[in-house]
Structure formats: structure tokens, C-alpha cells
Structure 1
């Protein structure tokens, strides 16, 4: 089952994807968040709750896109109660690009870079036996729900950014129940979006390289995730494909199990606050930056995973404002 969220007649609505051409509205204006809360309260699978709430009203999918009515497939009414985080060096081969980005900063080429050490830890201990704690992944915090860009929306590129590159990833979408138990609502295509030039200068600037803006969706996959997924990441400029490359994801192509990545995120009690939504990016191994692509105003990112329905598409909007020093004033 795949779900979307959209604006319909001025209200937030959830809908089930019936075909590439149409979606079927779900009753109520509580969205996917409310449906998930209902599933928890009634101890029922989300799919059952959705099926029981389907209406006979159907909407044209292409018309929703054209009207810019698509929303992320899971949202919280309070952006501060949605946390956006992620992990890196999780995919087989993903360390190669990162290692090359900062290998020159190492004292001896014969020694493993820190990225390769981290990646090696994942390969050796990122998929522990059930119930065991595996190796910790690289982890980062991006921001709260205010940074999330709608599918088909524009990524704002701040004036201080030296690069604006895509990161095609899987995102796990979660809701914390009333007892503080993380509940996985489903998965979505994600574009985590980063400044790879800043990261290349010094990998310790990883946190600064995260440009905060990100997107996921448009569709939420409910149920089990295939272990092997093959997708395509591309950049379109002036209506023509500038760059395109296949990418692999899913546990069969990862150094860590999803359960291990989830454990190391939710092991912190403050990330198990009842009612909060979490969007967690699982990492990637494919970047246009590695092929020396330089993005520019109006470029469109397209990330396509067939199992997730429609591709995630976002365009770039560069800031024309001069970079200003932010000052703090005393009270």
C-alpha cells in the first residue's frame, strides 16, 4: 500500500494511490498522522485502518502535481515536533567517495581514513544477530519539520553554500506512541541534499555541509521493505537530462541493518517523546558530485525507485541575497 498527503479544498487530506493516474481520498482531515494514531489506539495494522476509511472520491494525480498540492506523506501539525536526522557510510561502496574527498588531509596514504574506519566498523558489525547491538553508524541531525520541502517544491540554496547536491536515499518515517515506543509508519524516497564542497574541504564539517532543506515522498510505502532496491538518480537542466546514474539501496546493499540504524537513533530517550514524528535518512552511495557535476539555478533533481511509485522531484532556487554576518544582541 502506498499513501500520499495533499491539500484538497483547503484541507490536509490523505489518499491511497490506486494507479499512476489517480488517488483515492481517505475520510477525515487528520492526515497520515491521525491514521497512524488511530491504528496504535485500536491495535490494528495501518493498512486496515486505511481500507476502512476509504471514500469513493478519487483525484487526478497529475492535476495535484500541476497545482502544487502535494505534501510530504507524513507531517506533524507542529514543525518543532518533527525531527529530521540521518546516517552516513551505510551503503556498500559509499565510503569510496567520502574517503577520496578527504584522503589528502591524511598524514599517510597507507593508513585508513576515518571514513574508511567507520565504514569498516559497519561492514564487520553493522548487522548483528536479532536482539543484539551492532556497530554505531555515522549520525547527524538536520533540523525540525520546518526544513522539509514539499515534493515538487524548490530547495532553497543559501548564499553561503558552496555546492547544492542531491543525495538519493531511503527515509524511514516514524511516530512515537503514548508509551514512548517508536512505531514505523513506513518508508519513502528521500533527497537529503548537501554541500559536498564544504564536506570535501574537511570531513569534520559534515554537520555544516548539511544544507537543512530536504524532501521525501511523494508516496509512503506501508509494509515490508524489499531488501534489494534499484533506482535512478538524475539531474534535469532546461528540459534535458544533464546527469543520470543508477543507485542501489535496501539492506542487501547496506553495511548496516535497518534495525541497527533505528536502535542507534532511538536509544536516546529524548528521541522517544510521545507524539513526535521522526524522518530518518538511511544514506546513499551515489552522488553527482563524485562525477564533477556543478548544479545551478533551476536544475531539477529526480529520484526514482519503482517500488515507491512516482519519483521525488525538486528544483533548485539559489539565494540572491548577500551573505550577512548574524549577530547576537544582549538583552
Structure 2
């Protein structure tokens, strides 16, 4: 089942659900995906049970809503500060090659040793999929921002004026709400564009944190439930309406060095991330980047990411913010 939310002319939200390949319908009495998910979590029901109990109403034309720019991110929080955008890297088989090339040192001594990227990747291969009851190795982890950085499908991803680059990262994102008792509940998974500054990251690995403080987009739809073992998608960049770059990407545990459960454990083990009522959008990494193929994006380029079984493609244009002076004042 796929779930999404549409902005209405009066400012209200229509929550729409559908099965892949079928028409969408509004969920009766649902004011937002967040409200619906919190209701289910606190009641001890599955989201599917909660939807079935409310029933479905009028048909919703998702393609028309997309064309009209009325898609919201598939989950939003009334207070954007309580939505957390985070992620993990070096989690996919093959992902280390691109990252290692970006971080490769030029000295002969460095060529004879593993980079930090390769060490982290190897740790994941050796301990990223622990047996039940065991704790696996923790992954690379980063923070992207809060709900103010979540961009709706169809809207532009805005790169800061000071950025060196703005490039796509096609990923799976896990979507979670925290119940009143502080228990994380997974709603499901969505296609995401983790959108990063790869040129800044390449200068020095310690600038990774800076390179990740960017907007991100996910959706338009969340696939409720567990993710398939083998996820196959396509990432492309359009320039002037024509395909500039296109490449398939793989995700799902069959193509990863970590299990989703291990990545979730090492995120939610922090009490900070189990605060009642919060939303978490956690991106699980990728092995496919246009940057690794020498592509340099330009303002107006359109990113398009899709995956089988995850609904409509995610589309966002690239915009560049105007330069602004930040003045620090003394109180």
C-alpha cells in the first residue's frame, strides 16, 4: 500500500492511499499522514488497520495533483523542528568505490593503506548484518536538518550560494514516528533524493558534515510496511528537457552491507531520537552518483528518481540561492 498527502486549495490536507498500479482514494477523516500514523502507534494498531477502520472516500488523481504542484512531502510535522532528516553512508555494496575515489590521498604511503572510507566499508561487510539478538557494527551517520529542509516532490532543491556543488543521491528513506511512550514505529519506506555537496566533501572527509547540511526530498509516496530484499530503481538528470545522465541504482538488503535493522538500531539507540511525537526520515545510502561519473549539475537541471513498487517518481529541479550576508549581533 502507498500513502501520500495532497495540499487542498483551502490549506487542508487530503491523505491518499492506493495499491501500486491502482487509483488512489482519500482516507476518511484523516487530516494528515502524521496524525494518522500517531493515532495508529498510540492505539497499538498497524497503519493499514487504522486506514481500513476509517474507510476510503473519493478518488484522488495523483498525476493531476503532481502536475498542479500540490504534493506535500508524504509526511510533515505541525512543528518542522520536530522532523529530523538524517542518514547513513557506505552501506551499499559498491558504494565504497565512488567514495574512496573522492577521498583518495595522493601520497605513495596512502596508496599502500586503506582510506577511512574503505575501513568503514569493510567494517560494514564484516559486521553490518548481525544475527538476531546481536549488535552489529555502527555505520557512518550524518545529520541533514529538520523539517524546514524537507522539500516537497515537484519543488526545487535549493543549493546555498556558498556551495561548491549540488548533486543527487538516490536512496531509500525509512519513515518513522515516535509514540507517546517513546517507541519508534516505522511507517514504511520512500524514494529519496539525499542531495549533497560532493565537491566540498571531496576536499576533506572531515567536511562531510558540512556537505550534508542541505535540503532533501522524499516521496511522493511512502510504501507502507517492510522493504523488498532487492530494490531496483533509476536515477536521471534532465537538462533542457533531455536526459543528460541516467543510471540504474540498487537498494534493499540484498544489495547492502548493513541490514535495515542494524541501521535503525544505531540511530534509535540514542534517547534524543526517541522523543514522543517526533518524525524521523532516515536515508540509507546509495552506490550511484552522477558526480562519480563526472557530471556537474547546473541550475535548472531536473533530478528524477524512481523505484519499482514505490509509486510515482520523485522530481525536483536544482535552484541556486542568492548570496546573503549573515551578521552576528551582540545582545
- What TM-score do the two structures reach when normalised by structure 1? 0.96
Which residue in the other structure is 1:256 paired with? 258
Shift of 1:42: 2.7
What is residue 241 of structure 1 aligned with on the other side?
A: 243
State the SS of the aligned residue for 1:35.
helix
8 Å contact from structure 1 (residues 21, 62) kept in 2: no
Once the two structures are superposed, the pairs formed by residues 57-136 of structure 1 within 5 Å of their partners are 57-104=58-105, 107-136=109-138
Aligned equivalent of 2:267: 265
Contact between 2:135 and 2:262, CA under 8 Å: does it hold in 1? yes
| CA distance 1:105–1:138, change in 2 (3 Å) | farther
Q: Is 2:196 the partner of 1:156?
A: no
Structure 2: gaps spanning 5 or more residues = none
Distance 1:39 1:56 in 2: 19
State the Cα RMSD in Å. Answer: 1.4
Q: Does the residue aligned with 1:104 lie in a helix, a strand or coil?
A: coil
Within the alignment, does 1:172 sit opposite 2:174 as a pair? yes
More displaced, 155-164 or 33-42? 33-42
1:252–1:21 CA distance, 2 compared to 1 (3 A): closer
- Aligned-partner Cα distance in 2 for 1:38–1:199: 40
Shift of 1:185: 0.9
User: Hey, what does 2:15 align to over in structure 1?
Assistant: 14
Task: Return the alpha-carbon distance in structure 2 between the equivalents of residues 179 and 134 of structure 1.
Answer: 26
Structure-2 separation of matches of 1:227 and 1:133:
21
Match of 1:297 in 2: 299
2:329 maps to: 329
> Take 2:303 and 2:181, find their aligned partners in 1: how far apart are those partners?
39
Distance 2:221 2:231 in 1: 16
Measure how far apart 1:188 and its partner are: 0.4
Select the residue among 185, 188, 201 that pairs with 1:186: 188
Query: Contact between 1:195 and 1:209, CA under 8 Å: does it hold in 2?
Result: yes
Contact 1:24 1:54 in 2 (8 A): no
> Hey, what does 1:309 align to over in structure 2?
311
* 1:45 equivalenced with 2:46 (yes/no): yes
Aligned partners of 1:115, 1:265: CA distance in 2, in Å? 20
Cα drift, residue 55 of structure 1: 3.1
Q: What stretches of structure 1 of length at least 5 have no aligned partner?
A: none
**What residue in structure 1 maps to residue 2 of structure 2?**
2
What SS class does the counterpart of residue 65 from structure 1 fall into?
Answer: helix
* Count of residues paired in the alignment: 329
1:8 offset after TM fit, Å?
Answer: 2.3
- Answer whether contact 1:125 1:135 (CA < 8 A) is retained: yes
Cα distance in 2 for residues equivalent to 1:132 and 1:310: 37
Q: Supply the distance in 2 between the matched residues of 1:125 and 1:41 (Cα, whole angstroms).
A: 34
Deviation of residue 145 (structure 1)?
A: 0.5
Q: Distance in 1 between matches of 2:246 and 2:317?
A: 16
Structure-2 residue corresponding to 1:318: 320
Query: Does the aligned pair in 2 maintain the 1:160–1:323 contact within 8 Å?
Result: no
1:277 aligns with 2:279: yes
